[in-house]
Amino acid sequence: MPHGQDLEPPAYASKFAAGMDLRAAVSDSVKLFPGERKLIPTGFAMQMEPGYEAQIRPRSGLALKHGVTVLNAPGTVDADYRGEVGVLLINLGDQPFTIERGDRIAQMVISPMCQARWEIVPTLESSGRGRGGYGHTGVR
């Protein structure tokens, strides 16, 4: 699917930036009321090599200034997915938030992925941590 003609394709902001900015490909502006969630189209589809995934993450500026974040962060785009990439935004702020066409709404990282092969075993090797978790090493 070609990217919306007036929209730039996802691009790294600089060679040091981890995430590519994703833009809203909405035809009309979209309003997110406090507590509301919506799937926002990005206007593009892609094909990745097997062994990779894309992760969709919030933009910290939107989160800090407006309380708008990616509900399912990190959203997972599978290598075999051929549909339009969507961004599931939620407004956790206390004011309505308006999204215009072309707004940068999230960022995307392409990552190599490890696929596990499960093996059933009678016991697990012992370790320093053992079964301890959820803060068992202290409250601070």
Q: Which window, 3-11, 13-21, 78-86, 94-102, contacts ligand DUT (CB under 6 A)? A: 78-86
Cβ neighbourhood burial of 14 (10 Å; 0-12, 13-18, 19+):
exposed
- The CB-nearest residue to ligand DUT is 75
3-class SS of residue 62:
helix
Strands 97-99 and 30-32: antiparallel
Q: Residue 72 interacts with ligand DUT (CB under 6 A)? A: yes
Q: Residue 56 interacts with ligand DUT (CB under 6 A)? A: yes
d(C-alpha 45, C-alpha 31), whole Å: 24
Q: Residue 75 interacts with ligand DUT (CB under 6 A)? A: yes
Size of the site for ligand DUT (CB under 6 A): 10
Q: Residue 90 interacts with ligand DUT (CB under 6 A)? A: no
